[in-house]
Amino acid sequence: MRAEANTIFSVRSRRGQRGFGLVNSFLLSGAAVLLVWGGLYVGKYGGRFDGDEYSEIPHGRPAKVVAGSEDPNAKVLKLGARVFQNCAACHQADGNGDPSKNVPPLAGSDWVLTESPNRIIRIVLNGLGGPITVKGTPFNGGAMNPWRKTADNPSGLTVEEIAAVLSYARNTWGNKAGIISVDQVSAIAKETEKRTDPWTPDELLKVPLTGGATASAALTPDQLKAALKAMPADALDALLKDVKK
């Protein structure tokens, strides 16, 4: 390396051009300054002009691992399966209920599969009694106990457990319906916290299936008219079109 450099300089100096060494060192130091400036410039303003920009492990951080076992729904359904042991005594592990004891099925039940959770959350919180039709079959004389956790019912279920067991019932035995969130259960638990009686199916059929957790407060015709009048004309048109569909 050194010998090589010496050769270059010695060849040039042997030519006897006195000024050449000076110019050469000017050029050299100029180039060096440019190089350093360029390096600093790219370092400062080069954005992600990094050697490992396209590496899967940027800056030595491991790439985020997306594992199937971390699926939050799988976790909920696992908890739901455990909680369902409380329900299986009546509704049976296969979800088919026990018609000889007036216990209706959860498998294929329209009550379970209805997309809005407004009614089934109420059933589990407060219990149910009274004539009910499930999958076209009438059941009469059965009673389901309440599962709301209170001072009087300390062995009840938490809102997390109720969300999980209902999500499980909606996605087992061939059932397929949306996962029920803890927020949905909490909202309805709050809305019905003063209620101690079990529901009757007739009462529940009046609970609207729209509007999330806000159920029982129906508008009077006058209130509805006022609300519609307050809407911008194009929004009202869109709403009417949607309702008529």
Write the DSSP string, the chain.
-HHHHHHHHHHHHHTT-HHHHHHHHHHHHHHHHHHHHHHHHHHHH-SS--TTTT-SSGGGPPPPP--GGG-HHHHHHHHHHHHTHHHHHHH-TTS--BGGGTBPPSTT-HHHH-S--HHHHHHHHH-EES-EEETTEEE-S-EE---B--SS-TTSB-HHHHHHHHHHHTTSTT---PPPPHHHHHHHHHHTTT--SPB-HHHHHTS-SSSTT--S-PPPHHHHHHHHHTS-HHHHHHHHHHHH-
**Of residues 132 and 213, the one with the C-beta less far from ligand HEC:** 132
Q: At what angle do helices 118-126 and 159-169 cross, to 10 degrees?
A: 120
Rg (CA), the chain: 37
Q: Which of residues 5-44 bind ligand HEC (CB under 6 A)?
A: none
**Of residues 19 and 136, the one with the C-beta less far from ligand HEC:** 136
Binding to ligand HEC by residue 121, rule CB under 6 A? no
Options 26-34, 68-76, 124-132, 175-183: segment touching ligand HEC (CB under 6 A): 124-132
Q: Supply the minimum distance, in Å, between the C-beta of residue 189 and ligand HEC.
A: 14
Q: Which of residues 100-119 bind ligand HEC (CB under 6 A)?
A: 102-106, 109, 111-112
Binding to ligand HEC by residue 91, rule CB under 6 A? yes
Binding to ligand HEC by residue 172, rule CB under 6 A? no
Binding to ligand HEC by residue 184, rule CB under 6 A? no
Binding to ligand HEC by residue 213, rule CB under 6 A? no
Cα–Cα nearest to 101, from 144, 48, 55: 144
Binding to ligand HEC by residue 93, rule CB under 6 A? no
**Of residues 155 and 220, the one with the C-beta less far from ligand HEC:** 155
Q: Which of residues 142-171 bind ligand HEC (CB under 6 A)?
A: 142-145, 147, 165-166, 169
From CA 139, how far away is CA 89, in angstroms rounded? 18
Q: Supply the minimum distance, in Å, between the C-beta of residue 208 and ligand HEC.
A: 18
Q: How many residues bind ligand HEC (CB under 6 A)?
A: 31
Q: Supply the minimum distance, in Å, between the C-beta of residue 196 and ligand HEC.
A: 17
**Of residues 12 and 195, the one with the C-beta less far from ligand HEC:** 195
What is the binding site for ligand HEC (CB under 6 A)?
Answer: 86-87, 89-91, 102-106, 109, 111-112, 120, 123-124, 128-130, 132, 134, 139, 142-145, 147, 165-166, 169, 201
